[in-house]
A and B are shown apart, each in its own frame.
Chain A
Amino acid sequence: MKKVELINFQKSYDQRTQVLKGIDVIIEPGEFFVLVGPSGCGKSTMLRMIAGLESISGGDLFLGDKKANHLTPSQRDLSMVFQNYALYPHLTVEENITFGLHVKKIFKKEQKMRCEEAGEMLGLTDYMKRKPKELSGGQRQRVALARAIVTHAPLCLMDEPLSNLDAKLRARMRSEIRQIQRKLGLTMIYVTHDQTEAMTMADRMMILNGGEVQQIGKPMDIYNEPKNTFVASFMGAPPMNLIHAKVKGSSLVVDEQWLIPMSESIRAAAQLNEVTIGVRPEHIQLANDDEPGFVVVVSNVEVLGTETLITFNIGDKKQWIARWSGQWNLRIEQPLRIFIEDQHLCLFDAQTGGKLDGSQDSSFLNKEWITI
């Protein structure tokens, strides 16, 4: 277990464009911390800087209580799992797992013991004498994990370790990695672009975009309280539905078609002409007869067994997706009257994308959407 602390962490390759723009975070000992973001957001760079494979352009890195800016990768006492596993094709599984252990002054006997222990944990005992090319993708992944385990390093870094596996195996390895991390009490920093992996594995996660932190927090907090439209649309599958609305008097007007009355307090708080409205797919309901609702037209239906995804047009260009549990047999072009509870509406600043503070306040919106 080891604490990792980043203070104003920066990276720039050419002194002009910043790849990472001053990141501050403290990763607690024993925490499973996930870095997530779209490709090119700087998450891998950040991991490589923590590992010492890239230099740190600005700010400080503390591992434990020690400043680690200028330590070599091996001095940082960490292990790393690479995206393509970085197994040595000419060495056997056993030799791969124990590669480099002699540097840490671990004797042959101890090496063998640790290797067997890790092999047992990951079900590799029968494959110790094989070469990597004689293994399946999942087994190679396990060898890479075993190699990280045998070092007994308190901090483990993983760079998209599951992205080369098929969906089924990925789901299994997710829970396996999580279990091993808990069992060994590792501090884990895990990079992924897959929001499902982030949601299911993380104790806490950081969402990065364009080298800037969008939000740090527990998965559920991030899902329920996204700080801005980027986080809202990145987390969750399908993502949060967003649409622009104009503020007119005491109402929000969506695409000249719908009107939402707005309470006095929020109007005073947000002196804006335009906002973005966000709704999670599961919060769009079918309206009962006594509930106020508005009519949309179904444009696509995906029945997934336990749930149904309904795509419908809202406004002229936008499409929203609703997620209803159960199997719904809907026709294309069928009109639906839908209803959204006001507590589930999120409001964002249309310019900056930032969340408007009062928007969780249930008094801020009056209930119904009114079709103009």
Chain B
Amino acid sequence: MNLAQREPSPFKTYDEPERRRWMSSPFLAGMLFLLPSLVLFGVFLFYPMMRTIYLSLYLIDTQGEPLVFVGVENFINLFQSSSFQTSAKATGLFVLYTVPIGLILALVLALLANEKVKGIGFFRTMFSSTMGMSVAASSVIWMFMYNPSIGIMNRLLSGIGMSEVQWLLDPQFALMSVAAATIWMNTGFTFLILLGGLQNIDQQLYESARVAGVSDWYKLRKITLPMLSPTLFFVTVVSLINSFQTFGQIDILTKGGPMESTNVIVYSIYKDAFINYNVGSASAQAVLLFFCILIVTVLQFKLTERKVHYQ
């Protein structure tokens, strides 16, 4: 006679009515806890995403109703369109302009603000203050600064004897101008996270390095950056994704112009869907952007994994 037969497990409840057993299953209890977020995500994230992928495979009428299944034709059209290529190039350039410079700037500011100096609280507040400003408000500020006749930018230029620049109207400068404004807007957030990361580093590590007598540059390379690597990795991923999805400042400052030079993909999606009523093309672009961000993020994880030191 084996053990199981002699002593039935106390956890098995065959006697209870079927309904109660079903209710008390841990899986169901877990699902109940997840339900609110599942519903929210479902309505505002999963369904729109699925719907976008679905729509990207159809020819759509101006009312947004799918007419004919066309497979990947929307995508092929995109790749052949010069407008999309300009748009992709603008997005790529925009990311290149904003992410590295923004990160380095925020890192330098965070390193400065991490020093124990009198009145450092004032600088910490100033450096992180852009986090508290909406994209719309900051865009308007920058719009005034870039204004060709009354803006401070051109006044500075004429002050040092250079010719004025049409910051937002010259295709050569427009993307850079928007990028500069974007760096300014994002610095507050990146700075704050990096400062938090810096303050988390054990001070005794630096004291030990002081006793050893290594240079500041050596400390930065051998202690600060490795210890900050998880934070740096996080802000890089977030900034990159943010940069790919830029919309607000483009809409306010340039509306994708001049000559489509600032027509980044998200703005192009918006124009195709809500101005040109070409929902099929817009959906296809959205799908491409999604996969592009996904690939870049996965690549980041793969490539930098070994260089990030979690404690």
Residue positions of A touching B, CB distance < 8 A: 51-53, 72-75, 78-80, 82-84, 86, 88-91, 99-101, 103-104, 133, 147, 151
Contacts and interface: CB of A to CB of B under 8 A. Distances in A.
B216 to A, nearest CB: 12
A88 B214 contact: no
A367 B227 CA distance: 68
Contact of B211 (A74, A89, A90, A133): A74
Nearest to B308: A90
Interface in B267-311: 309, 311
Given A89-B311, A133-B311, A100 B209 contact: yes
A74 B212 contact: yes
Contacts of A90: 226-227, 229, 309
B223 interface: yes
Interface string B209-242: 1111111000000110011010000000000000
Contacts of A88: 205, 222-223, 226
B211 A51 contact: yes
Contact of B213 (A75, A83, A84): A75
Contacts of A83: 204
B208 interface: yes
A103 B214 CA distance: 6
B227 A100 contact: no
Contact of B214 (A89, A91, A100): A100
B227 A53 contact: no
- Listed residue (B208, B223, B311) with the most chain A CB atoms within 10 angstroms of its CB: B208
A84 B204 contact: yes
A327 B227 CA distance: 55
Contacts of B209: 99-100
Contacts of B229: 90
A80 B212 CA distance: 9
Closest 6 CB pairs of A and B: A74-B213, A100-B212, A90-B309, A86-B204, A86-B208, A90-B226
Contacts of A86: 202, 204-205, 207-208
A154 to B, nearest CB: 14
B185 to A, nearest CB: 33
Contact of A100 (B207, B213, B309): B213
Among the interface residues B213, B222, B311, which one has the most CB atoms of the partner chain A within 10 A? Answer: B213
Nearest to B310: A89
Instruction: Specify which of A84, A86, A103 lies most central, judged by the most chain B CB atoms within 10 Å of its CB.
Output: A86
A104 B205 CA distance: 19
Contacts of B215: 103
18 contacts: A53-B210, A72-B210, A73-B207, A73-B211, A82-B208, A84-B204, A86-B202, A86-B205, A86-B207, A90-B226, A90-B229, A90-B309, A99-B208, A100-B212, A101-B212, A103-B212, A103-B214, A104-B213
Given A89-B309, A90-B309, A133-B311, A72 B204 contact: no
Nearest to A102: B214
Nearest to A76: B211
Nearest to B225: A90
A10 B54 CA distance: 76
B210 A73 contact: yes
Contacts of B211: 51-53, 73-74, 78-80
A90 B208 CA distance: 15
A82 B210 contact: no
Contacts of A103: 212-215
Which of B207, B212, B229 has most chain A Cβ within 10 Å? B212
A256 to B, nearest CB: 54
A99 B205 CA distance: 11
Contact of A84 (B202, B210, B226, B311): B202
Contacts of A80: 207-208, 211
B223 A73 contact: no
A220 to B, nearest CB: 33
Contact of B204 (A82, A99, A101, A104): A82
A90 B222 CA distance: 9
Contacts of A104: 213
A147 B311 CA distance: 21
B308 to A, nearest CB: 9
Nearest to A153: B211
Contacts of B210: 52-53, 72-74
